[in-house]
Chain A
Amino acid sequence: MGTTKKTKQETMALSGDEAVAYAAKQSDVDVVAAYPITPQTIIVEKFSEYVANGEVQTEFVCTESEHSALATCLAASATGARTFTASASAGLALMHEMLFVASGCRTPIVMAIANRALSAPLNIHGDQSDSMAERDSGWIQLYVENAQEAYDSVIQAFKIAEDTNVMLPVIVGLDGFTLSHTLENVEVLPDETVLDFIGKRELPNVLTHEGKTVPFKLDPDTPMTMGPIALPNYYFEFKRQQEEAMKNALKLIKEVNSKYARVSGRSYGDGLIECYRLEDADVATVCVGSTAGTMKETVDEMRQEGFKVGLLRLRTFRPLPVEELRSALENVKAIGVMDKSMSFGGEGGAVFHEIRHVIYDAEKHPQIIDYIYGLGGRDSSPRELRRVYEDLLSTLNVGHAKKKINYIGLRE
C-alpha cells in the first residue's frame, strides 16, 4: 500500500462480502442480477438491503439460477446499463457457458467471486478451484488479499471493464470465508469520489450493417444485431479482438491502480503483481489471494533470522502479466508456487503452469516447485507456510527439488 492520502475517508468494520457490496453500492450500478450461494450470499443480501432502503438506484433481479443471473446481466449490459453480480463455486460453474458469451459480446459486467471449492464432495469452504477453472473464459481476473482490497478492486473493476478499449467483464476473487466472512477495518471513500473516479459508462461507437456509426448498445433508434452467428469466415477475428482487449487491459489495470492511489492513497503493487521483499531474495513464493497476508508475516520473520526470502502476489491472473512476472522472478533461485486449486492429471495447479510458462523465456531458470494447499477450506498454518520457504532453501543446497508437486497439510 502507498502512503499518500488525499481524500478524507471513513473507516468501517466490514467483512469482505460487505466491502464488495458497499463498493457496488457506491459505483451506482444500474442492474444487479444474482442468485444466492455461500459464501457470496452476504453480498446480495447486503445489496438487497440497500435497494429496500432506497440507498441505491438499482434494478435488483433475483433470478432463478446463476445461469439466468449472468444472462440477465449480459442483456442489461448490452442495453447500456452498468451491471454487477456475485457468485461462487457451483454457481460460477453453472454460469460457465454464459461467461464466454459475456466476454464474446464484450459486455463489461463486474462479478465478485467469493472463491469456494467445487463439488464433489460438496464443500462450501474456500479454495480457488472455481475461478481458476474459468481461466480461458475471456474474463479479466483480479484476486484480492483482504477486505480493503476487495472494496478497492470492485471500484477499479468498473473502471477497467467499461473502458472502451477493453470492454471485457471482470471477476474480482476474494477467498471464501477467509475474506468473505471476516470482519476488517475498511477505509471507504466518499460516494462522490467513487462516482467521480469511475465516471459514467461510456459506450464505444461501432459501425452497423447499415454503415452508420452508433453507440454500441441495444437502442430502438439505432437498431443493431448483437450476438450473431459467425461462421468460420469471421469467428476467428472476433476472438483475436478479445485478445487485443486483454492486452489493452494489462496496461489499463496499471494505470487504474496508480490513479486510484492518487485518490485513495492505496495501491496494490503495480496493479498486476505485488512484490514483497523480493529484490534480493534467494527464494520466493508466488501467492494468489489472502494467503499472501500470512506469507508476508512469514517473510518478515525469516528475514529477521537472516534468510533472504520474498513474496510475489499475483493480483491480476488474467490478463497474465508475463513480462512483469518474468523480470520480478528471474533472479530468484527457487520459486514456490502456492496453488489453491488442482488441475487433475496436469502435473501441478493452474498458477504453477503459468509461472513455468513465464520463466521459460527467462535467461536464468530458477527451480519452480508447486505447493498445493488449502483445498476445501483446509487451514494452512503459519508454521506450514514457513516450511515452504525452508523446503525452497533446502532445494538451494541440494541443487534440485525433492518433489516438484507438494501437498501441504494433507493426510497421506
Chain B
Amino acid sequence: MTSQEWKFTNKEIADKPDLFLSGHRACAGCAPATALRLIMKATRGPTIVTEATGCMEVVSSIYPYTSWGLPWLHTAFETAAANASGIEAALKILRKKGKIQDRHVDVIALAGDGGTYDIGLQALSGAVERGHDFLFVLYDNEGYMNTGIQRSGGTPKGAATTTSPAGTVVPGKLERKKPISEIMLAHEIEYVATASTYYWRDLVSKVRKGLEVEGPAFLHVFAPCPRGWRTDPAKSIEYSKLAVETCVFPVWEAIKGKRQLSIPSKMFALAPQKKKPITEYLQGQGRFRHLFAPKNAELLAEMQLTTDERWAQLLKKCEPI
C-alpha cells in the first residue's frame, strides 16, 4: 500500500472509457448503477470482476446483452468472495506455471447488502481470512431490492420493507443495521473503507487504494435505491450526501488498522455544529414516513441518539485529526 493520496481529476475520470457500460436495465435514479460506473473508472489495468446475484447483476447481464467491458463472472448469491478466491488462485498458479501471461490481474468482487451482510458473509469472512488478493465492494442499498424490497442485515432500524412493514403495532424494522465494516476491520486486513456515491472522488480513490493492497481489501459503498426507499429518483445522490452530513453513514478508511475519517466526514468532526439532524435525511423517504407520526416520536428521538452515539464512538476509534 502506498501512502500516496489518490487524486483523480474530473478529466481523468471523464476520459477513461467506461467498463460498466450504458444500456443496462437499472431503474431510474439507481445509485448503485452510478457507483458501479465510477468504481470501474478506478481500475488500473487488467481486471476480472465477479458479482453476486442481485440488482446490479441482473440489470447488467441479461443474455445475450451485457454491460460489462471486462471479464465478468456470476455464479450465485453467496459466492462473490468464493469466486474471487478461485479466480485469484487460478491466476496465481497459471501465471507461475507460464500458462497465462506473466502480469498482475486485479480481482474485484461485487455484492449488494444481501450478498455481503447476510448470505455472503461466511464466504467473505473465509476468503478474507485466507488472504486472497482481491477487493470486495459492497454496494449497500439497505435491502433486498431485486426481490421486492425485503429487510436485510443492512436495513437500518425503523425502515419499512415488505418483510418489516410499518404496521399498527410494529414500526418497521426493529433491529439495528449490522456494523459490517467493523466486522471486516476485525479481520485485521490491510484496507477497509466506507464511501458514499455523492462523494465520487473519494469513492474512486478508495477503489484504487483497495486494488493496490496486496491481499484482501473491503469497500463499503452507500448507494440509495429510490424504489426501495420510496424516494424521488432525482434525489438518490442527494440522499447519499445527506447520509454523510447527518453522520448516519460516515465515510472513513482504515489502512493497516489505523482509521481516519475521510474528508467529507472529517468536516463534521471539526465543525460539529454543521452536522445535520437525521430528520433531514429521513424526511422524504417513504420507508421512514411512519416515523414522523406522533406515536413514533420516541423512536425517532432514539434513532437520533443512536446515530450520535455511533458517531461519537467512531470518533474515538479514529486517529486524531
A264 close to B (CB within 8 Å):
no
A63 close to B (CB within 8 Å):
yes
Contact of B84 among A30, A59, A75 (CB under 8 A): A75
Chain A 28-39: CB-based contact to B (< 8 A → 1; otherwise 0): 001101000000
Residue on B nearest A225 in the bound complex, by CB: B66
Residue numbers in A under 8 Å from B305 (CB-CB): none
Q: Which residues in window 14-40 of A have CB below 8 A to B?
A: 30-31, 33
Contact B93 A58 (CB under 8 A): yes
Q: A30-B97, A62-B130, A98-B76 are in contact. Are A218 and B64 (CB under 8 A)?
A: no
A241 close to B (CB within 8 Å):
no
Residue numbers in B under 8 Å from A30 (CB-CB): 90, 93-94, 97, 99
Segment from B43-51, B195-203, B263-271, B283-291 that makes contact with A: B43-51
Segment from B9-17, B121-129, B147-155, B227-235 that makes contact with A: B121-129
Residue numbers in A under 8 Å from B79 (CB-CB): 67-68, 71, 75, 98
Chain A 98-114: CB-based contact to B (< 8 A → 1; otherwise 0): 10010001000000000
Contact B93 A75 (CB under 8 A): no
Complex: how many Å from CA A382 to CA B286? 72
Complex: how many Å from CA A379 to CA B96? 48
Q: Which residues in window 71-87 of B have CB below 8 A to A?
A: 71-76, 78-79, 81-87
Q: A68-B123, A74-B83, A81-B94 are in contact. Are A59 and B89 (CB under 8 A)?
A: yes
A65 close to B (CB within 8 Å):
yes
A383 close to B (CB within 8 Å):
no
What's the least CB distance linking B207 to chain A, in Å? 17
Residue on B nearest A78 in the bound complex, by CB: B73
Contact A68 B70 (CB under 8 A): no
Chain A 49-84: CB-based contact to B (< 8 A → 1; otherwise 0): 000000001110111110111011111111111010
Residue numbers in A under 8 Å from B63 (CB-CB): 228-231, 234
What's the least CB distance linking A319 to chain B, in Å? 24
Q: Which of A65, A69, A74 has the largest count of B CB atoms less than 10 A from its CB?
A: A74
What's the least CB distance linking B23 to chain A, in Å? 11
Residue numbers in B under 8 Å from A218 (CB-CB): 48, 71-73, 87
B92 close to A (CB within 8 Å):
yes
Residue numbers in B under 8 Å from A227 (CB-CB): 61, 73-75
Complex: how many Å from CA A219 to CA B100? 9
Number of interface residues of A (CB under 8 A): 46
Name the interface size band of chain B: 35 or more
A243 close to B (CB within 8 Å):
no
Contact B90 A59 (CB under 8 A): yes
Q: A101-B75, A225-B66, A228-B63 are in contact. Are A76 and B122 (CB under 8 A)?
A: no
B105 close to A (CB within 8 Å):
yes
What's the least CB distance linking A58 to chain B, in Å? 7
Contact B87 A75 (CB under 8 A): yes
Contact A229 B62 (CB under 8 A): yes
Residue numbers in A under 8 Å from B48 (CB-CB): 79, 218, 220
Contact A228 B85 (CB under 8 A): no
Complex: how many Å from CA A218 to CA B100? 11
What's the least CB distance linking A335 to chain B, in Å? 40
Q: Which of A57, A63, A64, A234 has the largest count of B CB atoms less than 10 A from its CB?
A: A64
A191 close to B (CB within 8 Å):
no
Complex: how many Å from CA A223 to CA B58? 18
Contact A223 B70 (CB under 8 A): yes
Complex: how many Å from CA A59 to CA B95? 11
Contact of B85 among A68, A77, A220 (CB under 8 A): A68
What's the least CB distance linking A225 to chain B, in Å? 4
Chain B 104-138: CB-based contact to A (< 8 A → 1; otherwise 0): 01000000000000000011011101100000000
Contact A79 B78 (CB under 8 A): no
Contact A81 B93 (CB under 8 A): yes
Contact B100 A72 (CB under 8 A): no
Q: Which of A62, A68, A101, A219 has the largest count of B CB atoms less than 10 A from its CB?
A: A68
B57 close to A (CB within 8 Å):
yes
A226 close to B (CB within 8 Å):
yes
Residue on A nearest B89 in the bound complex, by CB: A59
Q: Which of A74, A75, A218 has the largest count of B CB atoms less than 10 A from its CB?
A: A75
Contact A231 B70 (CB under 8 A): no
Residue numbers in A under 8 Å from B96 (CB-CB): 57
B33 close to A (CB within 8 Å):
no
A6 close to B (CB within 8 Å):
no
Q: A80-B90, A229-B58 are in contact. Are A75 and B50 (CB under 8 A)?
A: yes
A224 close to B (CB within 8 Å):
yes
Residue on A nearest B99 in the bound complex, by CB: A80
Closest 7 CB pairs of A and B: A64-B126, A75-B86, A220-B46, A71-B82, A79-B90, A228-B61, A68-B82
Chain A residues with CB under 8 Å of chain B are 30-31, 33, 57-59, 61-65, 67-69, 71-81, 83, 97-98, 101, 105, 209, 218-231, 234
Chain B residues with CB under 8 Å of chain A are 45-48, 50, 57-58, 61-66, 68-76, 78-79, 81-87, 89-94, 96-97, 99-101, 105, 122-123, 125-127, 129-130
A-B contact pairs, 11 of them (CB 8 A): A30-B99, A57-B93, A64-B129, A65-B122, A73-B86, A74-B83, A75-B87, A77-B90, A79-B90, A222-B71, A225-B72
Q: A83-B90, A227-B75 are in contact. List 7 more A-B contacts (CB 8 A).
A: A63-B126, A63-B130, A71-B79, A75-B84, A80-B99, A81-B90, A223-B69
